[in-house]
A and B are shown apart, each in its own frame.
Chain A
Amino acid sequence: MDSGGGRMSTTLAFLGDFGDAFDYIFNSRESQAGGARVGGTELLPLLWTHLKVTALAMAIAIAISLPIGLALGHTGRGAFAAISISNTGRAVPSVALIAFFVAFFPSTPEFWNVTVALALLAIPPILTNAYVGVRQVSRDAVDAARGMGMSGTQIVRSVEFPLALPLIFGGIRTSTVNVIATATIAPLVGVLTLGDPIISGSVHGRAGQIGASIVVAALAIAAEVILAAVQRAVTPTGIKLERGGAVGSPSRLGTLKRRIQTAP
């Protein structure tokens, strides 16, 4: 099938393509074209770029969308804007956005074009979840805080933000997993992430394509699991106690609350 077959480690041979893919992940080999080494530790620079693009895009997205989402939620205005942004965001294909930046900003380094495109993709879930998170804070709690003489800023910081944290983290989680997935296609415009072995199949071979897919999938699942744990950790005890009652319909605003539902 491909010339990498000869290098298949004997212990993994019975797994066929997948065995060869695991061998690619753990042991570097000569590339299909000869010369360069691929796989194994050669994947580390790709992993680093992947993580760097993801982290930067998420940092930009959070810095932009969190204040706006909190402000919209606090004032109760802009529900239409928040929902429109989330709906429009879903309709824009990630590839189209990356291509747009590359075609229209040819003098900007590809790395930043990709990072900004990914950041834009990451904004809608965080913005909508921050908005919904603040809106669903009990009005009694906000009234009580106001009655205690708290200013608007204090209410946002000490009441609405902590109570909205689980949903905010839900949005960050959705976006992060999304950005990790989308960063896989960055090599199409020359930014070498873990998608490189997948897209440059003639260099890395079938084992490289499948092996890198396994690594990307594992990375996405790891991010999901870790951020789910963080989300649980930042959930105020009061909300944990009333969990279930506080959950509104996830579909009404078109947002996906990424929370594992348990049967009542």
Chain B
Amino acid sequence: MIELVFAQLQRRDRSGADCVADNGICPDWIADNFDRYVTPFWEHVYLTLVSVAIGFAIAFGLALLAHRWRWLASPITQVTGIFYTLPSVAVFFLLLPLTGRGNTTAIIALVAYTLLILFRNFMAGFENVPAEARDAGRGMGLTERQLLWGVELPLALPEIMAGLRIAVTTTVGLASLAFLAGAGGLGEALFDDINFRSNVLVAGGLAIGLAVVLDLLILGLQKAVTPWTRAAAA
């Protein structure tokens, strides 16, 4: 029960260094207690990566369907739009009777949230493929499948990767709420001692740092897989 955990942890004994008693920002305390953040941090990484990976696979499938049958784009956007609108905390508990508490529930909610972002960017990517490139591909005798994998998907990569970046940073933020679904993560460490400044800074800082690092990694990946955009970006 969450509130029991709070009751226990809210008034943790802070005796020891004066800094801790004064509720300051305490490098010593942080150095001594850093190991308590390791497990929540990796739980956070796990939740983020698994959710975005599953969301990416589903959104890719949906985008291929909508690419093949254009009329599907609108209903898919609307349904994923509803998922995007539903507050994650509400989804955690609406799933309670179906999947209980734990990672599964948290991941379903996080995946649902990424779908609109990723799907929309897949579609934007496909729409930005120049008609001439498609025509040239067809003129070279490419089949529809070859056209998709050899021409359209590579040219759509900048938008797809941009969507991935938004999805990852958003999911890192939302995974901070996953502890309400019993899935741990940095949010749990944060709320273990929410009035203690050092704790808030370390737990919050780790979450923001994780988002920035993952964002930069994807940006680097994007630059590596789309070398032709480098000239245009200048």
Binding site for B on A (CB under 8 A): 16-18, 87, 90-97, 99-100, 102-104, 106, 177, 180-182, 184-185, 188-189, 195, 198-202, 206, 209-210, 212-214, 216-217, 220-221, 224, 249-252, 254, 256, 258, 260-264
A184 to B73, Cβ gap below 8 A? no
When distances are taken between beta carbons in the complex, the residues of chain A under 8 Å from B88 are 181
> Which residue of chain A is the closest to B160 with respect to CB atoms?
A251
Main secondary structure of the interface of B (DSSP, over half): helix
B1 at the interface (CB under 8 A from A): yes
A221 to B85, Cβ gap below 8 A? yes
A210 to B74, Cβ gap below 8 A? no
When distances are taken between beta carbons in the complex, the residues of chain B under 8 Å from A262 are 73-74
Partner among A91, A99, A177, A185 whose Cβ is within 8 Å of the Cβ of B200? A99
**A-B contact number at CB 8 A:** 176
When distances are taken between beta carbons in the complex, the residues of chain A under 8 Å from B117 are 256
A217 to B94, Cβ gap below 8 A? yes
A100 to B204, Cβ gap below 8 A? yes
When distances are taken between beta carbons in the complex, the residues of chain B under 8 Å from A195 are 89
CA separation between A229 and B132, bound complex, in Å? 38
B31 at the interface (CB under 8 A from A): no
CA separation between A210 and B128, bound complex, in Å? 43
When distances are taken between beta carbons in the complex, the residues of chain A under 8 Å from B123 are 261
When distances are taken between beta carbons in the complex, the residues of chain B under 8 Å from A201 are 1-3
B89 to A91, Cβ gap below 8 A? no
A213 to B3, Cβ gap below 8 A? no
When distances are taken between beta carbons in the complex, the residues of chain B under 8 Å from A17 are 96-97
B30 at the interface (CB under 8 A from A): no
When distances are taken between beta carbons in the complex, the residues of chain A under 8 Å from B172 are 91, 93
